Amino acid sequence: MDLATILGVICAFSLVFIAIFAGGGLQLFINLPALMIVVGGTLGATMISYPLRDVFGVFNVVKKAVFTKSISINELIKRFLSFAKKSRKEGILALETDLKEVKDEFIVKGIQLSIDGLEPEEIRDVLETEVDFIRSRHQLGAEIFTTMGTFSPALGMIGTLIGLVQMLQRLDDPSRIGPAMAVALLTTFYGSIIANIVCLPIAGKLRIRSKKEVLTKEMTIQGIISISNGDNPRILEQRLQAFISPNEREVSGKYG
Amino acid sequence: MDLATILGVICAFSLVFIAIFAGGGLQLFINLPALMIVVGGTLGATMISYPLRDVFGVFNVVKKAVFTKSISINELIKRFLSFAKKSRKEGILALETDLKEVKDEFIVKGIQLSIDGLEPEEIRDVLETEVDFIRSRHQLGAEIFTTMGTFSPALGMIGTLIGLVQMLQRLDDPSRIGPAMAVALLTTFYGSIIANIVCLPIAGKLRIRSKKEVLTKEMTIQGIISISNGDNPRILEQRLQAFISPNEREVSGKYG
Amino acid sequence: MDLATILGVICAFSLVFIAIFAGGGLQLFINLPALMIVVGGTLGATMISYPLRDVFGVFNVVKKAVFTKSISINELIKRFLSFAKKSRKEGILALETDLKEVKDEFIVKGIQLSIDGLEPEEIRDVLETEVDFIRSRHQLGAEIFTTMGTFSPALGMIGTLIGLVQMLQRLDDPSRIGPAMAVALLTTFYGSIIANIVCLPIAGKLRIRSKKEVLTKEMTIQGIISISNGDNPRILEQRLQAFISPNEREVSGKYG
Amino acid sequence: MDLATILGVICAFSLVFIAIFAGGGLQLFINLPALMIVVGGTLGATMISYPLRDVFGVFNVVKKAVFTKSISINELIKRFLSFAKKSRKEGILALETDLKEVKDEFIVKGIQLSIDGLEPEEIRDVLETEVDFIRSRHQLGAEIFTTMGTFSPALGMIGTLIGLVQMLQRLDDPSRIGPAMAVALLTTFYGSIIANIVCLPIAGKLRIRSKKEVLTKEMTIQGIISISNGDNPRILEQRLQAFISPNEREVSGKYG
Amino acid sequence: MDLATILGVICAFSLVFIAIFAGGGLQLFINLPALMIVVGGTLGATMISYPLRDVFGVFNVVKKAVFTKSISINELIKRFLSFAKKSRKEGILALETDLKEVKDEFIVKGIQLSIDGLEPEEIRDVLETEVDFIRSRHQLGAEIFTTMGTFSPALGMIGTLIGLVQMLQRLDDPSRIGPAMAVALLTTFYGSIIANIVCLPIAGKLRIRSKKEVLTKEMTIQGIISISNGDNPRILEQRLQAFISPNEREVSGKYG
């Protein structure tokens, strides 16, 4: 997913820059006050709409969504298979040593609860609550970016209106009309770029990312419950594979 | 939340004003008739859409949403823990003295009903009804601001059309065309500002605020019911913590 | 509600007229063919969309919504309290004389059904069906006005396109370009006014009005059922007050 | 319904034509290539979106919706009353002769199933399935017209862009600029007309028509089930009248 | 469905090309950098929004949707009838030879599961899961095309803004203004074409296609369950025909 984002950013921005350079150079398109009004105004309107902590927290969510490598689902299934086999042979307490190598805190917590002797339904309750908070944090992130993607073109237009009103008041020097209008249009340009190449695509990615992460967490919960119930590894594998599309499945064949 | 709104307003408006001053001064952008047509027209259309009392009531809702400090959720949990411990030791009647220090009328009412001997389910009914009215008052507020944010750009455009029609009828003096168009564009400018920096962000804030307040009220109801049932403080704490995200939880550890 | 509509109309239109007069007089903005194309075209498109009877029926709905004084909810509760007391003392037949003074046909019908000896559930069925029809008539009204508010700017634009095409064909006399464009813009102006100051606000009002009227009718049904069941007046009052927000409640205190 | 459509079409188009003739004649607004690009492009985009059979089938749906006279609901009630009385007196087989005069195939089929001895629930199943297909055919029709009403302004704009690009390449002869732009605007004009006076209103009418037809069919099913159950005609009348608004009801008074 | 797509593409594009050629030739409308910014920017924004695999996988989905001939539903019914008859006469194992001629892997898999002795409910579970994945793959495809149809006009506008800003900076040579604006408008033109003649219609087709394919699969599941249950062929036919509209049904008449 990482790669797609990077490729997408490069692809979209490089083409915009090529068009800009081909037509006379970057300096025509750099205007700090114009950029400030769009970026600052959008941030301002977003800060009125959402609590401060959520607005700044959103950058963390993005960082995680773009840079965290998503766990391979087939890896996950393999891990749970090996847990299940060990747990059936040596008892669930034997998993405690394996937990030290597991980086995913969600799995560690779930297995630990199982080792601590909680009933499967209690474990599910605790973990589902955590998944609900993950889901609502992602949704809030996607929502904030959608909001920013709605405000930024509007603020671009406000900036252009300011420029137009100023230009129209002094039409006496015709040679300045063109450049003044060009500058006025820059805020609309910035607003469009921010909305369509930054905010709205990121909102889309967060939505997709959230779906996938929640699915992985649901699989993990299913796996932990299965181990906690002492299910046969074969049944565990079937349960987990029901979460993934048929052509993504790997047949393991090796359960005891 | 207070802070975010203030910062947002400062951020958005200061950048707009900087752009305005940088380009020649504020006087180009002040036009009372233009402002009146946008503000008055928007208010007029909103008054046709909603009952008078709701339109004016909305300002109260905003004042509350922006200036009321929201209760710390961890504070709330602590308060209920202390209530629960006292109630189990000395009986629920002992809470009557504590109520005098509580400012939140909703808590006072709930505990009072419990002291008066109502059944937990009756208390829940009474309090849930009140939460329903709080929720619908907030939703109405958010809806009215969204409506105003839809009407204000439309009235901005109507004002600009009036200006354009007037200008186009007297094209004989070319030197007046520019300033006349600038004035005509001001209503569109006002409409955009009112919609995108005032009304729509406030509607967003009311929606978020409402969610949070309703959640707090739901927690309060849960706490009152738990005390009314004589639940163990440990169980009460677990029930209340299920309402907040895992990383916001504070472990209290001190219940008897 | 009456008042809000009148104030809103005055507020919105007076500001538009002030802007028009300030800029040179009303005659620039009166153009009968332009008005006809917007109003007639909108009505035409609406008549294709909805049955003739519904389109014309909508004006009745508006008349009622604007001019009918809504019943005071506290009045309604008082009336039902007095009915309930009388009915418990003298039997439900005693209400027959009171009905002559009641203007609300819905109450008369409900009480009459109760006097006629129908079971409470049957009364509820009959009255709920009537409320469903009231609700769907209001919704249809709001929907038709929303449709008109969507078509009128579109027809305004069509009118402006007609004017532009005609103007562009004879650019030889530059002095006529301005006035011709001004006239062309008038249809867009009319379309915006009709949509944003007339149709969409009225659609909003019908929606709000409908909610309130349906709530009143639901309260009425609850009251009639309570009387029909011979409920204690105290219980009847509690049941009805659950329909209104806590700070609108009046405590009566006087039931036997 | 027939009448409303015809009046609406006349009203909307005649005003457009008056505006066109008043401003210099129809020939300015006739441009076959412009019309072809809008109509053909809209049809093309619609054919990519929907199966060929559905696109052409939609015209049948419209023809039926506009030209079929809807059955009077009071007529329908009367017919079922007479069926019910006859069926109770002479047995359901006696209805076989009456069916020959009935044009509505849906009624014929339902009564025939009853005569054939199917259980009421089986009859309901068969008829409800048919109503589902009627409903989905109407919905598809409304959806296709909404799609066309979305594509036609877009294709109008594409046509105008083609015209503008061509015009801008040869600005050397100023006298040709005006007429060239006029022609370029014609596609936008056609697109708006097709969307707002043709496609979107028809989509609206199909939606309303569908609701009404489905309601009539539901009434018919209720009537057939009642007859099949041998219900008392009085009860049958009450059941059917629950489908229509109180002020549309006719009291029959004459059941045996 | 194949045919409709091809006809639609030919119809829409040929009219656009006719308009282009009639007005001076294709070379005015070919501009590689403009095309690159729209296509590349749209792809880039889409790649940020969706995982790389999904973006490229979407072309496979389209290829399948456009080129795969959909199975005749009546054929499907006939096949299941012959299966059912054979299975009742010779036992379900006899179907194993027939499976070799069946190309539809979904049917093969279902019948094979039945031959393998799974319970009907287990077979349904396995097949329903597969249908869920087919449905979500189609929905993802339609969603990606809708996203591209939203980004491409936005990127067209960004390209036009770049061109306008560059042009406005050098207004000194009036003869270059026209052609420069023409080129600037080309990106808007490309964006509109890509959205309205390519992406949005394809999204529509995928949605329709998906509905139909899922319906066919549901029928197939019903048929396999019926055979697995050893239902009478007559009942199987009735069950399957409930999936298709009455006037599409063919009466077979020939079941044993």
* Chain D, nearest residue to C135 by Cα: D245
What are the pLDDT digits (tens) for B182-229?
889 999 999 999 999 999 999 998 898 888 888 889 889 999 998 988
The C-alpha atoms of residue A177 and residue A182 are separated, in whole angstroms, by 9
Collect all residues of chain C within an 8 Å Cβ-Cβ radius of residue B168: 178-179, 181-182, 185
Residue B254 has pLDDT above 50, yes or no: no
Question: In this structure, are residues C213 and C70 in contact, taking their beta carbons and an 8 Å threshold?
Answer: yes
* Chain A, nearest residue to B153 by Cα: A154
Collapsed DSSP state (helix, strand, coil) of residue D101: coil
**Confidence at E2, pLDDT banded by 50, 70, 90:** low
Top residue of B47, B118, B134 to mutate, by most chain C CBs within 10 Å, is B47
Residue E256 has pLDDT above 60, yes or no: no
Q: Which residues of chain A have pLDDT under 70?
A: 1-2, 68-71, 246-256
Percent of chain A with pLDDT strictly greater than 90? 25
D16 closest CA partner among A212, C154, A151, C119:
C154
What are the pLDDT digits (tens) for B50-70?
988 888 888 888 887 777 666
What are the pLDDT digits (tens) for C1-58?
467 788 888 888 888 888 888 877 788 899 888 899 999 999 999 999 998 888 888 8
Q: Which of C238-252, E150-164, E166-180 has the highest mean pLDDT?
A: E150-164
C41, C154, C157 ranked by CB distance to D16: nearest:
C41
Across B85-113, average pLDDT: 87
**Beta-carbon separation of A169 and B29 below 8 A:** no
pLDDT mean across residues, chain A: 86
B50, B168, B172 ranked by CB distance to C182: nearest:
B168
| pLDDT for A175 | 79
B216 closest CA partner among B116, B134, B101, B112:
B134
**Confidence at E40, pLDDT banded by 50, 70, 90:** very high
**Confidence at D255, pLDDT banded by 50, 70, 90:** very low
| pLDDT for A188 | 95
B37, B166, B169 ranked by CB distance to C15: nearest:
B37
The C-alpha atoms of residue C147 and residue A96 are separated, in whole angstroms, by 65
Across D59-84, average pLDDT: 81
Q: Which of A57-66, A170-179, D25-34, E69-78 has the highest mean pLDDT?
A: D25-34
D16, D177, D185 ranked by CB distance to C165: nearest:
D185
The CA R_g of chain C, rounded to the nearest whole Å, is: 26
Collect all residues of chain A within an 8 Å Cβ-Cβ radius of residue E33: 18-19, 22
Q: List all chains that touch chain A, counting a touch as 3 or more CB pairs closer than 8 Å.
A: B, E
List Cβ neighbours of B42 (8 Å cut-off, separation of 6 or more): B148, B151, B152, B155, B191, B194
Between these two residues, C152 and C91, which has the higher pLDDT value? Answer: C152
| pLDDT for A190 | 96
What are the pLDDT digits (tens) for D138-167?
889 999 999 999 999 999 999 999 999 988
**Beta-carbon separation of C16 and B33 below 8 A:** no
| pLDDT for E247 | 66
Whose tokens are 């006279």? That residue is D69
Between these two residues, D250 and A207, which has the higher pLDDT value? Answer: A207
**Confidence at C171, pLDDT banded by 50, 70, 90:** confident
The first and second tokens of residue C129, run together, are 């069906």
Q: List all chains that touch chain E, counting a touch as 3 or more CB pairs closer than 8 Å.
A: A, D
What are the pLDDT digits (tens) for D178-231?
888 888 999 999 999 999 999 999 999 889 888 888 888 988 999 999 898 888
Residue C104 has pLDDT above 80, yes or no: yes
| pLDDT for D256 | 37
| pLDDT for A239 | 82
The C-alpha atoms of residue D224 and residue D104 are separated, in whole angstroms, by 13
Question: In this structure, are residues C220 and C240 in contact, taking their beta carbons and an 8 Å threshold?
Answer: no
**Beta-carbon separation of C11 and B168 below 8 A:** no
**Beta-carbon separation of A205 and E133 below 8 A:** no
Q: What is the least distance, in Å, from the CA of A254 to any CA of chain E?
A: 22
What are the pLDDT digits (tens) for E206-221?
898 888 888 889 889 9
C23-44 core/surface letters (b: 16 or more CB in 10 A; e: else): beeeebbebebbbbbbbbbbbb
| pLDDT for B159 | 93
Q: What is the 3-state secondary structure (H, E, C) of B16-56?
A: HHHHHHHCCCHHHHCCHHHHHHHHHHHHHHHHHHCCHHHHH
What are the pLDDT digits (tens) for E8-28?
888 888 888 888 888 778 888
**Confidence at D247, pLDDT banded by 50, 70, 90:** low
Whose tokens are 């399935």? That residue is D129
Whose tokens are 């709605």? That residue is A150
Reported pTM: 0.87
* Chain A, nearest residue to B200 by Cα: A49
Across D95-101, average pLDDT: 85
Q: What is the DSSP string of chain B?
A: -HHHHHHHHHHHHHHHHHHHHHTT-GGGG--HHHHHHHHHHHHHHHHHHS-HHHHHHHHHHHHHHHHSPPPPHHHHHHHHHHHHHHHHHH-GGGHHHHHTT---HHHHHHHHHHHTT--HHHHHHHHHHHHHHHHHHHHHHHHHHHHHHHHHHHHHHHHHHHHHHHHHHT-S-GGGHHHHHHHHHHHHHHHHHIIIIIIHHHHHHHHHHHHHHHHHHHHHHHHHHHHHHT--HHHHHHHHHTTS-GGG--------
The first and second tokens of residue A203, run together, are 């909102």
**Confidence at E134, pLDDT banded by 50, 70, 90:** confident
| pLDDT for A253 | 45
Listed in sequence order, the DSSP H helices in E105-119 are: 105-115
| pLDDT for B94 | 87
D42 closest CA partner among E19, E156, E22, E8:
E8
| pLDDT for E94 | 87
E100-117 core/surface letters (b: 16 or more CB in 10 A; e: else): eeeeeebbebbbbbbbee
Percent of chain B with pLDDT strictly greater than 70? 93
**Poorest-pLDDT segment among D238-247, E135-144, E161-170:** D238-247
Across D71-84, average pLDDT: 86
| pLDDT for E63 | 81
Question: In this structure, are residues A76 and A215 in contact, taking their beta carbons and an 8 Å threshold?
Answer: no
D41, D168, D172 ranked by CB distance to E15: nearest:
D41
Collect all residues of chain E within an 8 Å Cβ-Cβ radius of residue D147: 204
C112-130 core/surface letters (b: 16 or more CB in 10 A; e: else): bbbbeebebeebbebbeeb
What are the pLDDT digits (tens) for C118-138?
888 888 988 898 888 888 888
